[in-house]
Amino acid sequence: MSDLKAQVVERLRRVKGPDLEGNIVDLGLVSDVLIKDGRVYFSITVPAARAEELEPLRGAAEKVVKEIEGVAGVVAVLTAEAGPGQATRPAPAKPAGNGREHPRVAEARARGAAGDAAHRPAAQPGAAPVRQTQGVPGVKHIVAVASGKGGVGKSTVAVNLALGFQAIGLKTGIMDADIYGPSQPRLLGITGKPAQAEGKKLVPMEAYGLKSMSMGYMVDEGTPIVWRGPMVVGALNQMLREVLWGDLDVLVIDMPPGTGDVQLTIAQQVPLAGAVIVSTPQDLALIDARKGLAMFKKVSVPLLGIVENMSYFIAPDTGKRYDIFGHGGAKAEAEKLDVPFLGEVPLTIEVRETSDAGKPITATAPESPSAQVFREIAAKAWAELERAAGRGMKPPKLEVMHGGEALRVSFATRDEHELPAEFLRVLSPSAEVQGHSKEQRVTVGGKKNVKIRELRGVGNYAVRIVFDDGHDTGLFTWSYLHMLSLQKDKRWGEYLAELKTKGLSR
Ligand SMILES: Nc1ncnc2c1ncn2[C@@H]1O[C@H](COP(=O)(O)OP(=O)(O)OP(=O)(O)O)[C@@H](O)[C@H]1O
Ligand SMILES: [Mg+2]
C-alpha cells in the first residue's frame, strides 16, 4: 500500500459508521481507495434506503481526506447495498448463492488492489431483489428504456420517446445510464460541461427543451471510462439525485444494453415507475427482449410496453414500405406476454441521420411520419404510466360543437368543459407549439377563426385534432385535455400575455 493510500485509510478511520458506532473502515464499508495524480477516489457502501440520510457521512469522509497534505481532490461516492441478504455491515466473506460470488464489499476489501474491478457485478446473483422506492423530489415518473441486447436503437428510441413526451405537453428529462458508452451528447448534439449550482448540485444540460444528464458531459470525448461496478451505481445515484432536475412529469432513463448485474441493480435501486423494452423484429432480438422483460418483472417494475424499432424500411425515393425482417413479431410476442405493444418505428435514413447528427427527428421534423410514431408511442406509454400509478383515465366523450368552433369534453368523472377551437389550436401539445422551452417556443398567433375539422381517435388514450388550417400533429391525451379544461382561464391568460410580449395578435 502506498504511503498516501495508507494515510487515506487511516484518516477515514475517524469517520463514524452509519449508526455512530465503529468507523467506516473497520466496518468494512470503504470498498477501495484509488489514487491517481493526487486525486483520491473511493466509495462507501450504505443501505440503499438510507443513502440520502447518510449524505453527511460521505461529506465527512471527503473532508477528512481533503485535509491530508498532497491530496489534490477527493471523490467519495455512496454505493447502495445490492439488496436483502446483505446486512448493514458486510458479513464475513462466505460463498453466496451459487457459491461463486462472495459478498461484494468483503470481496473488494480482500482484493485491495485497484483497477482490476471494472464491470464488477453490483448485485448479487441469487439474492432476492427488492426495489427501493425512494423517489427523486420533483420528478413524477421515472421510466427506463431498456433492451435485452445492444444496438437495437435503444438510445435513439429513448431520446425520441422523451421528445414525444414533451410533444404531448409533458415536462421531460433524459438521463443516460450508459456509463461505459454514453450516447446522449451525440444524439442531442450537446457539448460542454454542466454548471455547478449551490450545494454542489449540477445543472442539467438542455437541448430542444429537454433536460439531459450523461457521463458523456463529465469526461472528455475519447477518454475510455473504466468504472468499478459499485461505483457505477454511485455515479448513477449522483446523476439522479445530485442534479437539479426541477419539476418533471417524466424522466426517461436510457439504460445500458443487456440484462446483467448493473442493469438489474439499476432496476432495483432507481425508483422506476415503468419500463419500455425496445426490440428489433428479428426473433433473436425478441428472445433478448424477453430477458429484459423478465428482469423488470423480477423486481416488480410495471412494463409499459414493447417498442419495435427498425420495424420496416421506408424507401426514401418512393416512400414504399418494405418489411425486411418480416412483420408483426414484436406485436404478437407482446400479446403473448400480455404486455402492451407501444408501436412500430420504421427504419429510415432520416432517423439515422438526424439521430447521429444530434438533431432528433421528433424535435426537428415534427411533421414526419417517424415523429408521429414517436408521439403516439409516448402518448400510449404515458397512458400506461398513469394506469400503473392508479391514475388512469377513462376516455371522455368528445363532441365538436358549433360547426367546429369548440370541443365539448365530458369526462367520466362527470365534469364537462367546452374548449374553443382557437384555445386548443394555440395550446396544441405538438412539438412546434409546446414541446420546446419557453425561449425556443413558437407562439402561434392569428388563429381567432380557426375551426376543428375532424377528430381522429388514437387508441383509447388520445385524440388527434385536425384543424382547418392544416395543423394535425397535436396529440391530445386525456390527461392533457383534462389539464387544459381545469386550467382553462390560467392557460388562456398566459397565452394572451405571451402574444403581447412577442408583439403578435389573435
Ligand atoms: N429506426 C431507425 N432507423 C434508422 N436508424 C436507426 C433507427 N434506430 C436506430 N438507428 C441507428 O442505429 C444505430 C444504433 O442506435 P442506438 O445507438 O440508438 O442503439 P442502442 O441500442 O442504444 O445501442 P447501444 O446498445 O450501443 O446502447 C445508430 O446509428 C442509430 O442512428
Ligand atoms: Mg445506447
Q: Whose CA is nearest to atom 2 of ligand 1?
A: 347
Pick the ligand that lies closest to the CA of residue 151. 1
Res. 493: pLDDT tops 90: yes
pLDDT score of 165: 94
Last-in-domain residue among 73, 96, 111: 111
Q: Is 128 a domain residue?
A: no
pLDDT score of 88: 31
79 sits in which H/E element: strand 73-80
- Report the separation in Å between the CA atom of 347 and the middle of ligand 1, taken as the mean of its atom positions: 10
**Is there a single domain that holds both residue 319 and residue 217?**
yes
What CATH number does residue 95 fall under?
Answer: 3.30.300.130
pTM of the full predicted structure?
0.70
Residue with cell 465503529: 22
374 falls in which pLDDT band (50, 70, 90)? Answer: very high
Q: What is the pLDDT of residues 194-228, one digit of tens each?
A: 888 877 788 999 999 899 999 888 766 555 555 55
Q: Tell me the average pLDDT of the chain.
A: 80
What CATH number does residue 431 fall under?
Answer: 3.30.2020.30
The mean pLDDT value for 373-381 works out to: 94
Last-in-domain residue among 370, 388, 406: 388
Q: Is 130 a domain residue?
A: no
Amino acid at 247: D
Substitution candidate for ligand 1 out of 163, 345, 352, 364 with most atoms within 8 A of CB: 352
Q: Is 254 a domain residue?
A: yes
- Report the separation in Å between the CA atom of 257 and the middle of ligand 2, taken as the mean of its atom positions: 7
**Is there a single domain that holds both residue 273 and residue 356?**
yes
351 sits in which H/E element: helix 349-356
Q: Whose CA is nearest to atom 3 of ligand 1?
A: 347
Range of the domain at 339: 139-388
pLDDT score of 125: 39
Q: Which atom of ligand 1 is nearest to the CA of 158?
A: 18
**Is there a single domain that holds both residue 383 and residue 406?**
no
Q: Is 506 a domain residue?
A: no
Pick the ligand that lies closest to the CA of residue 156. 1
**Is there a single domain that holds both residue 103 and residue 181?**
no
- Report the separation in Å between the CA atom of 174 and the middle of ligand 2, taken as the mean of its atom positions: 13
- Percent of the chain at pLDDT > 90 equals 34
Pick the ligand that lies closest to the CA of residue 150. 1
**Full DSSP string of 224-235:** ----BHHHHHHH
The mean pLDDT value for 306-330 works out to: 81
Residue with cell 461516492: 77
- Report the separation in Å between the CA atom of 181 and the middle of ligand 2, taken as the mean of its atom positions: 7
Q: Which of 134-138, 275-279, 379-383 has the lowest mean pLDDT?
A: 134-138
Smallest Cα–Cα separation from 269: which of 24, 91, 86, 29?
A: 86
The mean pLDDT value for 78-102 works out to: 38
Q: What is the pLDDT of residues 165-191, one digit of tens each?
A: 999 889 999 999 887 778 899 999 998
**Is there a single domain that holds both residue 240 and residue 364?**
yes
109 sits in which H/E element: helix 104-111
Res. 122: pLDDT tops 50: no
Are the CB atoms for 72 and 41 separated by under 8 Å?
no
Name the domain count of the chain: 3
- Report the separation in Å between the CA atom of 187 and the middle of ligand 1, taken as the mean of its atom positions: 10
| Alpha-carbon span 106 to 98, nearest angstrom | 17
pLDDT score of 463: 92
Q: Is 16 a domain residue?
A: yes
pLDDT score of 113: 31
Q: Whose CA is nearest to atom 8 of ligand 1?
A: 153
**Is there a single domain that holds both residue 264 and residue 377?**
yes
| Alpha-carbon span 274 to 283, nearest angstrom | 24
Q: Is 124 a domain residue?
A: no
- Ligand 1 pocket, CB under 6 A: 147, 150-156, 178, 181, 183, 257, 309-310, 345, 347-348, 351-352, 355-356
Q: Is 199 a domain residue?
A: yes
**Is there a single domain that holds both residue 154 and residue 267?**
yes
Q: Is 132 a domain residue?
A: no
Reduced to 3 states, what is the DSSP secondary structure of residue 407? strand
**Is there a single domain that holds both residue 374 and residue 403?**
no
Q: What is the pLDDT of residues 440-454, one digit of tens each?
A: 667 888 899 999 999
pLDDT score of 466: 94
Q: Which atom of ligand 1 is nearest to the CA of 258?
A: 25
**Is there a single domain that holds both residue 348 and residue 222?**
yes
The mean pLDDT value for 485-490 works out to: 92
- Residues 412-428 as b/e (b if ≥16 CB within 10 A, e otherwise) read eeeeebbbbbbbbbbbb
**Higher-confidence position of 75 and 68:** 68
Q: Whose CA is nearest to atom 25 of ligand 1?
A: 150
pLDDT score of 455: 94
**Is there a single domain that holds both residue 462 and residue 346?**
no
| Alpha-carbon span 452 to 32, nearest angstrom | 64
**Is there a single domain that holds both residue 100 and residue 245?**
no
- Report the separation in Å between the CA atom of 202 and the middle of ligand 2, taken as the mean of its atom positions: 23
Residue with cell 424535435: 363
- Report the separation in Å between the CA atom of 156 and the middle of ligand 1, taken as the mean of its atom positions: 5
Q: Whose CA is nearest to atom 23 of ligand 1?
A: 151
The answer for residues whose C-beta is within 8 angstroms of residue 332's C-beta and 6 or more apart is: none
What CATH number does residue 302 fall under?
Answer: 3.40.50.300
Q: Which of 52-66, 275-289, 322-336, 362-376 has the highest mean pLDDT?
A: 362-376
Q: Whose CA is nearest to atom 16 of ligand 1?
A: 153
Last-in-domain residue among 358, 388, 418: 388
Res. 54: pLDDT tops 90: no
- Report the separation in Å between the CA atom of 356 and the middle of ligand 2, taken as the mean of its atom positions: 12
**Is there a single domain that holds both residue 401 and residue 491?**
yes
| Alpha-carbon span 172 to 145, nearest angstrom | 14
